Structure 1
Amino acid sequence: MFRISHFMHELAQAEATGAYPAPKRRGGEGGALRPHTGPVVIWNLIRRCNLTCKHCYAFSADHDYPGELSTQQVFDVMDDLHAFKVPALILSGGEPLLRPDIFEVAERAKQLKFYVGLSTNGTLIDEPLARRIHDHGFDYVGISLDGIGATHDKFRRLEGAFDRSLAAVRHLQKLGTKVGLRFTMTELNAFDLPKLLQLMKDEGVDKFYFSHLNYAGRGNIHRGKDARHLATRQALDLLYETAWADAQAGGNHEYVTGNNDADGVYLLQWVEQRLPRWADDVRQRLTAWGGNSSGVNIANIDNVGDVHPDTMWWHYSLGNVKARPFSDIWHDTSDPLMAGLKARPRPVTGRCGACQYFAICGGNTRVRAQQVTGDAWAEDPGCYLTDEEIGVESSDERVETTAFSSKRRVIELVPTDS
């Protein structure tokens, strides 16, 4: 996750004081992790969902799935995560509110002092359910809105979904629960981003999460409709200007992006153009951030207990918490993918490996490379920066995002020596 607002507030402070602020260390989901902690865990407690969204990485549908973790198994895993110093749990699905014990799980998580987030489509949240969510002390509720009105409904494949999700935002806002809007951009909905940012302002929402499309589940099947690079740059320009204006005005809204760590490099270019005297400071801070953290500071547990480097790697299991503790699985670098993800630097090749900003983005999102080429260490086709911008020799052989094919070639995930 790339926290645009964090950098914009530092820049605003620098402009106001004449000195770039010293780095702050914050624990939990809201900032940099404390030393010697486990990863933030995104936990898909249930795969069932009342929607069948076009970009769903879990291929969720409205029926039960066998083999899901029981309440006691969830509690046992939670104890291990607590001992492993995992700072935050993001409870997700499917639709997590369809799980009958969701509030028991949340209560136990709060007792163990985890930061607890809820990732939901919001369509089930009426006033009484919003009250239950608020009373159970969720630190944050992320509600997905992938467009305005009919755009969202088409994306989510349910007529009236937008109105129901927006009502959920309002119910929770009224109670004082921290709410964020979650938006995944593709060619089908990119035009609605300005309207959603205005909606955020009008509704007094605290946070906006902009997700680049990642190639997992239905998102992989529909990757042919991924937003093209120019549209991506235009979206980032809008987000950066919006976050900068908020920071200058002393606002406390959060603007973050996910699934494309080139966003950090693009921010550095934004600073070089607009606030060049702070470019070296921002470069140092971005290098310390380090880009993609899949398999390092971000983890995923799915509904049946399989562990993945992040939520987009559901097709690749590192092990199952029914058989081994999460803490053992997470440290095990005998798995070639985990060995590569935890390596510094990662064994990334091609255009990404040669990029002069590799230390900032960390090679970007490995799952896109693997889904398109079969090689997890190839270049990320989702990088929207030009060869000239990243200092590599121009080539006509760039990996292009092609339409999904179930017959793609699969290459073994063995790190290279380069």
Structure 2
Amino acid sequence: MGKSLPIFNGSSLGGMVGAFQQQVRQFLTPPPQGEGPYDGRTVDDFKPYLIALNLTKRCNLKCDHCYLDATTKSAGGNDELSTEECYKLIDQIAEVNRGCLLVITGGEPLIRPDILDIARHAVKLGFMVVFGTNGMLINDQLAKELVEIGVMGMGISIDSLDPQKHNRFRGVPGAWESALAGIEACKRSGLAFQVHFSAQPMNYQELPAVIDWAHQLGAKVLNVFFMVCTGRGEELTDITPTQYEEVLGYLVNCQDNYKGMLVRARCAPHFKRLAYEKDPNSPITKATGYMGGGCLAGTNYARVTPNGELTPCPNMPLSAGNIRETSFADLWEKSDVFNSFRYPHLKGKCGDCEYTDICGGCRARPYV
């Protein structure tokens, strides 16, 4: 991956956090994991570096693959964390690791009328804040406010360069056009953005063109997400193993081709296996944690649901508990659920695989 992906060895947690923040500000990427599994790590080594806050189940789209099974714009808000509860949650996360990356998402987070206040509260506490959004509600005024608050950037989903195909998948006419307008508003305001592409049977062959397009548009990151069939996507068909190899192989080979834009595979830890097969000494192979494409579920990453459940990953319903009842610190540090991810005893195909220490596997796929 050349100069776009530095290597962190994690030998000093304090130094790693500083290096992490510098790298995030360059590419909007969360920090690397420390040492590998089975090395005698303690709770002090398992700091939350990335927390996804699903703060609403409301949405203005009807995407086929939505893991949250997000509902219409006016529904789904009865049990959401209140503004004050969101503030309290963010305060509690700060007690464990002030300055980590918070991804504010949903549903569509920009539907919440208090979302800018929540983002402002997080930024004032020193968190790096990024939004995960469909981009449709971003206009010049909103983009300017986000910049003034100190939001680092917006992750905007684009599933095809064919507007009709994107709109069908997203379930609403005009979704592609509105997303592109949101990207242009970000550009005019100097708000960094990244493009999120979900690899599906209907679009995976578009990936090279989408990467070129995102780079030309000025994206800082191109994240390629791979389906975990949960929520509304439970009945969808994932790409085949052969197609996985094709897509991931392309991502390995194209790393040096896009100056100023990081290209990453998400929810596909076997990405590292392909990188290792190509070059055991490559930066991808040696990089750890989020920077290296490995799964951080329950170790350095967690998700909070709209009603306050703390889960290791958005793609599994397994919960450590609810932050309305137990503090974030207690759930993060003492949960048996999270400890099972930190000291795993892999079985089945992952346990028998020769690449276990390189890849680590995806825990959501066997769970669901």
Distance change (3 Å), C-alpha of 1:308 and 1:48: same
CA distance in structure 2 between the aligned counterparts of 1:298 and 1:351, rounded to whole angstroms? 24
Q: Does 1:71 align with 2:68?
A: no
3-state SS in 2 of match to 1:166: helix
Aligned to 2:339: 339
Deviation sequence 1:88-119 (CA, Å, 0-9, x none): 21100000000010110011111001010100
CA distance in structure 1 between the aligned counterparts of 2:80 and 2:92, rounded to whole angstroms? 18
Deviation at 1:158, TM superposition (A): 1.0
How many aligned residue pairs are there? Answer: 339
- Asked whether the equivalents of residues 306 and 318 of structure 1 are also in contact (C-alpha less than 8 Å), the reply is yes
CA distance in structure 2 between the aligned counterparts of 1:297 and 1:309, rounded to whole angstroms? 9
Uncovered stretches (5+) of structure 1, i.e. residues with no partner: 1-6, 14-20, 273-277, 372-418
Aligned to 1:8: 2
Aligned to 1:410: none
CA distance in structure 1 between the aligned counterparts of 2:211 and 2:238, rounded to whole angstroms? 20
Distance change (3 Å), C-alpha of 1:32 and 1:349: same
3-state SS in 1 of match to 2:150: coil
3-state SS in 1 of match to 2:181: helix
Distance change (3 Å), C-alpha of 1:101 and 1:55: same
Q: Does 1:40 align with 2:50?
A: yes
Q: Does 1:102 align with 2:115?
A: yes
Deviation sequence 1:46-82 (CA, Å, 0-9, x none): 1100011011010001132221111111111111110
Amino acid at match of 2:175: A
Deviation sequence 1:196-250 (CA, Å, 0-9, x none): 112112212211000011122122221xx2111222222223323322223xxxx
State the TM-score, normalized to the length of structure 2.
0.86
Distance change (3 Å), C-alpha of 1:187 and 1:122: same
CA distance in structure 1 between the aligned counterparts of 2:171 and 2:93, rounded to whole angstroms? 35
Q: Does 1:203 align with 2:213?
A: no
Of residues 267, 270, 277, the one that matches 1:262 is 270
CA distance in structure 2 between the aligned counterparts of 1:10 and 1:193, rounded to whole angstroms? 20
Distance change (3 Å), C-alpha of 1:131 and 1:285: closer
Q: Does 1:53 align with 2:63?
A: yes
3-state SS in 2 of match to 1:257: strand
- Among all aligned residue pairs of Structure 1 and Structure 2, give the percentage whose two residues are the same amino acid: 25
CA distance in structure 1 between the aligned counterparts of 2:243 and 2:48, rounded to whole angstroms? 36
3-state SS in 1 of match to 2:132: strand
Deviation at 1:347, TM superposition (A): 1.6
Deviation at 1:270, TM superposition (A): 2.1
Aligned to 2:365: 368
Deviation at 1:38, TM superposition (A): 2.6
Aligned to 2:40: none
Of residues 330, 355, 367, the one that matches 1:328 is 330
3-state SS in 1 of match to 2:274: helix
Aligned to 1:252: 260
3-state SS in 1 of match to 2:264: strand
- Asked whether the equivalents of residues 184 and 211 of structure 1 are also in contact (C-alpha less than 8 Å), the reply is yes
Amino acid at match of 1:72: E
Matches within 5 A, 1:271-310: 271=279, 278=281, 283-285=285-287, 291-310=294-313
Amino acid at match of 1:270: K
- Asked whether the equivalents of residues 248 and 265 of structure 2 are also in contact (C-alpha less than 8 Å), the reply is no
3-state SS in 1 of match to 2:212: helix
- Asked whether the equivalents of residues 294 and 341 of structure 1 are also in contact (C-alpha less than 8 Å), the reply is yes
RMSD: 2.3
Deviation at 1:283, TM superposition (A): 4.7
Deviation at 1:282, TM superposition (A): 6.3
3-state SS in 2 of match to 1:221: coil
Aligned to 1:392: none
3-state SS in 2 of match to 1:255: strand
Name segments (4+ residues, structure 1) moved above 4 Å: 21-24, 33-36, 281-290
3-state SS in 1 of match to 2:229: coil
- Asked whether the equivalents of residues 181 and 208 of structure 1 are also in contact (C-alpha less than 8 Å), the reply is yes
Amino acid at match of 1:171: A
Q: Larger relative contact order (C-alpha < 8 A, sep ≥ 6)?
A: 2
